[in-house]
């Protein structure tokens, strides 16, 4: 049973959906200069979940991927490390064995990612196995179809069980906002996920045509703010999917800054999921700091 039968009645949207785009325009227009601020770009870099989720991933390719993270500080000592590496669950033992940078978290997608269309006991088992093999962050997707049909209690109970299966590991719950679309529904999904125990709420898998959007980010951050005001618990936010360019990352950073404030602007409460963004941020930091015009392709 949901902790409160009418949990959604306790959290009503305090903004107009029609105003979302103008609010985003206000926020982003006021902060375009941050794309030229090396310190801001480094902070965003430190919040990246460096991800490889390809059908062609193998033990060898993931080992090489992790080794790049290990080698990064030696080549770029003035840059922070990324926030986490994120891989398929079968590669959890690889990141446990080979990742040597202590501050980089070990994230795994699980529970039938990316569709979430499998049996709950298999989802729970996959999460437990990933954690037992060394993952300390688990990214799961809500049952989007059940959610869209209004079966909120089903979605809530599933997240509750997956959170329990995580043990000490953090649970990042993906709403797949591109499939949900509507601002009120994104708000509802955010509240349900947080109330069921999510440590982070995340926009997207990156596996469907519409991934992260600033509209969805704004709604989710507003929901996080409302949840924190009522419960005192800080839930993290992660936009993911299709974010490749520096200015795109800066825009998400500024939405978080405007809605949630400076306290959320660190990698314990803000992550950004991207596989291409790291190289672009690195290129831009080096351009700002040293005038280098070389396009970096380290990762």
Based on the residue annotation, tell me whether 139 is a catalytic residue of this protein: yes
From the candidates 106, 123, 139, 199, which is the catalytic residue? 139
pLDDT of residue 275: 76
Q: Per-10-residue mean pLDDT for the chain, 299 residues long? A: 72 92 97 97 98 96 98 97 98 98 98 97 98 98 97 96 98 98 96 98 95 97 98 98 96 98 98 91 96 93
pLDDT of residue 4: 47
Nearest C-alpha neighbor of 156 from the set 179, 182, 189, 183? 189
pLDDT of residue 222: 98
CA angle 160, 162, 166 (to 5 degrees): 115
Largest pairwise CA distance in the chain: 58
State pTM to two decimals. 0.96
In the structure, how many helices (H) and strands (E) does the chain have? 12, 8
Please give the structure tokens belonging to residue 133. 């093999």
Nearest C-alpha neighbor of 267 from the set 70, 103, 92, 88? 103
Distance set, CA 216 to CA 37, 40, 183, 291 (Å): 25, 22, 7, 35
User: H/E/C letters for each residue in the chain?
Assistant: CCCCCCHHHHCCCCCCHHHHHHHHHHHHHCCHHHHHCHHHHHHHHCCEEEECCCCCCCHHHHHHHHHHHHHHHHHCCCCCCCCEEEECHHHHHHHHHHCCCCCCEEEEECCCCCCCCCCHHHHHHHHHHHHHCCCCEEEEECCHHHHHCCCHHHHHHHHHHHHHHHCCCEEEEECCHHHHCCHHHHHHHHHHHHHCCCCEEECCCCCCCCCCCHHHHHHHHHHHHHHHHHHCCCCEEECECCCCCHHHHHHHHHHHHHHHCHHHCCCCCECEEECCHHHHHHHHHHHHHHCCCCCCCCC
Based on the residue annotation, tell me whether 238 is a catalytic residue of this protein: yes
Q: What are residue 86's DSSP bridge partners? A: 51, 107
From the candidates 49, 106, 238, 284, which is the catalytic residue? 238
Give the strand pairing for 105-109 and 137-141: parallel
CB atoms within 10 A of CB 99: 20
pLDDT of residue 77: 97
pLDDT of residue 273: 86
Q: Which CATH superfamily is domain 7-290 in?
A: Aldolase class I (3.20.20.70)
The per-residue pLDDT for range 24-56, each reduced to its tens digit, is: 999 999 999 999 999 999 999 999 999 999 999
Q: How many residues does the chain have?
A: 299
From the candidates 202, 215, 222, 284, which is the catalytic residue? 202
What is the strand order of the sheet 84-87 is part of? 236-238, 200-202, 170-174, 137-141, 105-109, 84-87, 48-51, 272-274
């Amino acid at each position: 049973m949901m902790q409160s039968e009418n949990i959604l009645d306790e959290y009503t949207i305090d903004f107009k959906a029609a105003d979302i785009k103008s609010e985003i325009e206000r926020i982003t227009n006021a902060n375009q200069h941050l794309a030229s601020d090396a310190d801001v770009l480094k902070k965003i870099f430190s919040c990246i979940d460096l991800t490889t989720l390809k059908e062609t991933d193998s033990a060898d390719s993931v080992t090489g991927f992790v080794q790049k993270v290990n080698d990064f500080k030696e080549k770029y000592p003035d840059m922070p490390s990324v926030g986490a590496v994120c891989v398929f669950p079968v590669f959890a033992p690889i990141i446990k064995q080979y990742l040597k940078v202590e501050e980089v978290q070990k994230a795994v997608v699980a529970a039938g990612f990316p569709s979430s269309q499998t049996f709950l006991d298999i989802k729970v088992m996959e999460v437990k196995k990933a954690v037992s093999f060394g993952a300390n962050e688990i990214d799961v997707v809500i049952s989007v179809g059940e959610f869209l049909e209004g079966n909120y209690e089903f979605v809530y109970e599933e997240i509750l069980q997956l959170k329990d299966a995580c043990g000490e590991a953090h649970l990042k719950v993906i709403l797949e906002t591109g499939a949900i679309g509507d601002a009120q529904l994104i708000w509802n999904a955010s509240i349900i996920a947080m109330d069921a125990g999510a440590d982070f709420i995340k926009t997207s898998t990156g596996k469907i045509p519409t991934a992260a959007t600033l509209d969805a980010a704004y709604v989710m951050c507003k929901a996080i703010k409302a949840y924190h005001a009522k419960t005192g618990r800080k839930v993290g936010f992660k936009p993911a999917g299709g974010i490749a360019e520096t200015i795109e990352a800066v825009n998400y950073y500024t939405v978080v800054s405007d809605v949630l404030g400076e306290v959320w602007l660190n990698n314990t409460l803000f992550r950004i999921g991207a596989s291409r963004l790291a190289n672009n941020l690195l290129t831009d930091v080096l351009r700002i700091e040293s005038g280098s015009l070389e396009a970096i392709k380290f990762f």
